[in-house]
């Protein structure tokens, strides 16, 4: 186990920085009480669904706990339990895809008095509240190691089988890595984050052996990095030919799958940057999220109600595309856009943020024309013959100064609204010209904007 005071080595030498790793481990290890609570609630949920299935004539369905609780790598305070109901292949994939299996599980939850809702990934699953915990109940088809999955969720029990022995004694290493990623905002494979799943964190520890060795390796990653724990692709260029992703991590239980397909280039780059920064200057701030330290720039906030019944991944995707499209439209009109982002609480609110140099442009703009001797210059001259200034030649090109048709950023956004998703079309457009105007936003939206305007909490001055 890691010593109480452990120096982090880099480039063959020991840095002057030391980190109290026992203090950090106390942040990422669940307490004994938490472990007992999680074990009890998980066992009760398995019993509820196992007995419910048996009572309904489906005793051949195997109910198990999966994910980080099964692997012993969950973080304190994250009381999420994954329960999988593995149906025999005789039920066929349509039992999952049609929702019949889910309806059966929902009926059991209702009979047990457990409130539930339906959520969607590749297939629908139940989310429920029980004993102070959130639990996902996921139907899948039971397959054996080496068999191709029939539905997207079938691999998960095989992941647990694969990791069972490989992670023994390394659970805290995984927890350190998960906490590290969480502080960077890159922990989670959902579309809204585009980061590293818990399974990816576990595979990285299998590959590199420890948290320290993982970040030492990751600081040298480059886009199109290949990690193939079981050596299914040799040479690695074969994996690059098959998978078109910034990061390629071959799923050991399904070589046809890139387990890192959800990781965006931005998330990968953040992990590389964090790894480099940590090896240069280790600090507890890499494991413990600090308060945001926002700078300020004028920004537009497009605020809309969360579309009822829409899966979160779909909403995040719409927000991401709208945010990028609107930022590009503003740039095309001459606005200086610093950055853009998006946010939703997945319940009631959704928003797009665009940080800018200014929310209003000057009345006039310089139009750069073609070379003076080109045929295209004739068209430019006809178009700008009545310009506010010019046309005139500077160097070898024609220029003209014209009055802008759109000066206000809100007006520019409104012109783009017809091509936006329905959710964005109904959005309120809020100008935020100073810090005080942030107070007009809801508490959760304001907190999201402050994080958006802040430098990463792990980035030390």
Classify residue 14: in a domain, yes or no: no
Point out the annotated binding site for ATP: 68, 159, 178, 187
- Pick from 238, 258, 286: which residue ends a domain? 286
What DSSP element (H or E) covers 431?
Answer: strand 428-432
pLDDT value at position 179?
96
Structural domain range at position 183: 167-286
pLDDT value at position 292?
82
pLDDT value at position 18?
57
Using alpha carbons, list the distances in angstroms from residue 396 to 138, 377, 385: 67, 11, 18
> Are 306 and 420 members of one domain?
yes
> Are 317 and 304 members of one domain?
yes
Classify residue 308: in a domain, yes or no: yes
Point out the annotated binding site for CTP: 68, 159, 178, 187
CATH number of 38's domain: 3.30.460.10
Beta-bridged to residue 344, according to DSSP, are: 350
pLDDT value at position 14?
30
Domain count along the chain? 4
| Distance, CA of 124 to CA of 140 (rounded, Å) | 11
> Are 141 and 230 members of one domain?
no
| Distance, CA of 108 to CA of 99 (rounded, Å) | 14
> Are 394 and 432 members of one domain?
no
> Are 220 and 318 members of one domain?
no
Classify residue 293: in a domain, yes or no: no
pLDDT value at position 362?
95
pLDDT value at position 79?
80
pLDDT, tens digit only, all 461 positions of the chain: 333 223 333 333 334 355 777 888 888 999 999 999 999 999 999 999 999 999 999 999 999 999 999 999 999 988 889 999 999 999 888 888 888 999 999 999 999 999 999 887 777 899 999 988 999 999 999 999 989 998 889 999 999 999 999 999 999 999 999 999 999 999 999 888 999 999 999 999 999 999 999 999 999 999 999 999 999 999 999 999 999 999 999 999 999 999 999 999 999 999 999 999 999 999 888 998 888 888 889 999 999 999 988 888 889 999 999 999 999 999 999 999 999 999 999 999 999 999 999 999 999 999 999 999 899 999 999 999 999 999 999 999 999 999 999 999 999 999 999 999 899 998 999 999 988 889 889 999 999 999 999 999 898 76
Classify residue 5: in a domain, yes or no: no
Point out the annotated binding site for Mg(2+): 80, 82, 136
- pTM reported for the whole predicted model: 0.87
| Distance, CA of 261 to CA of 242 (rounded, Å) | 12
> Are 382 and 426 members of one domain?
no
> Are 313 and 415 members of one domain?
yes
> Are 267 and 317 members of one domain?
no
Size of the chain in residues? 461
Classify residue 15: in a domain, yes or no: no
Classify residue 235: in a domain, yes or no: yes
Classify residue 18: in a domain, yes or no: no
Alpha helices in 184-305 (DSSP H): 198-208, 211-218, 237-242, 265-280
> Are 340 and 424 members of one domain?
yes
Point out the annotated binding site: 68, 80, 82, 136, 159, 178, 187
CATH number of 444's domain: 3.30.70.590
| Distance, CA of 144 to CA of 253 (rounded, Å) | 10
pLDDT value at position 2?
35
Classify residue 155: in a domain, yes or no: yes
190, 103, 110: which is closest to 139 by C-alpha?
Answer: 103
> Are 443 and 313 members of one domain?
yes
């Amino acid at each position: 186990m890691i010593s109480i005071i452990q120096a982090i080595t880099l480039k063959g030498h020991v840095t002057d920085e030391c980190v109290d790793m026992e203090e950090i481990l106390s942040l990422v290890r669940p307490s004994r009480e938490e472990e007992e609570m999680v074990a009890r609630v998980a066992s009760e949920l398995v019993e509820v669904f196992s007995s419910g299935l048996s009572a309904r004539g489906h005793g051949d369905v195997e109910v198990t706990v999966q994910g980080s609780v099964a692997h012993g790598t969950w973080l304190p305070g994250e009381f999420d339990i994954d329960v999988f109901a593995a149906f025999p292949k005789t039920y066929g994939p349509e039992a999952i895809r049609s929702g019949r299996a889910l309806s059966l599980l929902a009926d059991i939850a209702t009979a047990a008095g457990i409130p539930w809702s339906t959520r969607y990934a590749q297939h629908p699953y139940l989310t429920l509240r029980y004993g102070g915990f959130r639990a996902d109940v996921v139907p899948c088809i039971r397959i054996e190691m080496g068999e191709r999955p029939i539905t997207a969720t079938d691999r998960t029990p095989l992941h647990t089988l694969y990791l069972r022995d490989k992670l023994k004694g390394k659970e805290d290493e995984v927890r350190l890595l998960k906490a590290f990623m969480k502080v960077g905002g890159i922990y989670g494979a959902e579309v809204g984050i585009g980061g590293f799943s818990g399974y990816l964190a576990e595979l990285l520890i299998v590959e590199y052996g420890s948290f320290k060795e993982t970040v030492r390796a990751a600081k040298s990653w480059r886009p199109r990095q290949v990690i193939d724990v079981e050596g299914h692709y040799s040479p690695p260029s074969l994996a690059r030919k098959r998978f078109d992703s910034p990061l390629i991590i071959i799923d050991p239980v399904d070589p046809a799958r890139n387990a890192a397909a959800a990781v965006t280039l931005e998330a990968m780059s953040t992990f590389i940057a964090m790894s480099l920064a940590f090896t240069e200057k280790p600090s507890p701030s890499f494991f413990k999220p600090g308060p945001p330290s926002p700078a300020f720039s004028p920004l537009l906030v497009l605020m809309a109600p969360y579309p009822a019944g829409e899966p979160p991944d779909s909403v995040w995707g719409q927000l991401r595309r709208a945010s990028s499209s609107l930022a590009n439209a503003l740039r095309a009109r001459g606005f200086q856009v610093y950055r853009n982002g998006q946010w939703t609480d997945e319940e009631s609110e959704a928003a797009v943020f665009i940080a800018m140099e200014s929310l209003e442009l000057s009345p006039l703009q310089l139009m750069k024309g073609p070379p003076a001797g080109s045929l295209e210059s004739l068209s430019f001259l006809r178009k700008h013959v009545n310009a506010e200034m010019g046309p005139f030649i500077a160097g070898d090109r024609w220029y003209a100064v014209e009055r802008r048709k759109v000066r206000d950023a809100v007006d520019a956004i409104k012109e783009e609204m017809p091509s936006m998703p329905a959710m964005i079309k109904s959005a309120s457009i809020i100008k935020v010209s100073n810090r005080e105007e942030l107070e007009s936003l809801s508490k959760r939206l304001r907190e999201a904007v402050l994080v958006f305007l802040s430098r990463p909490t792990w980035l030390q001055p």
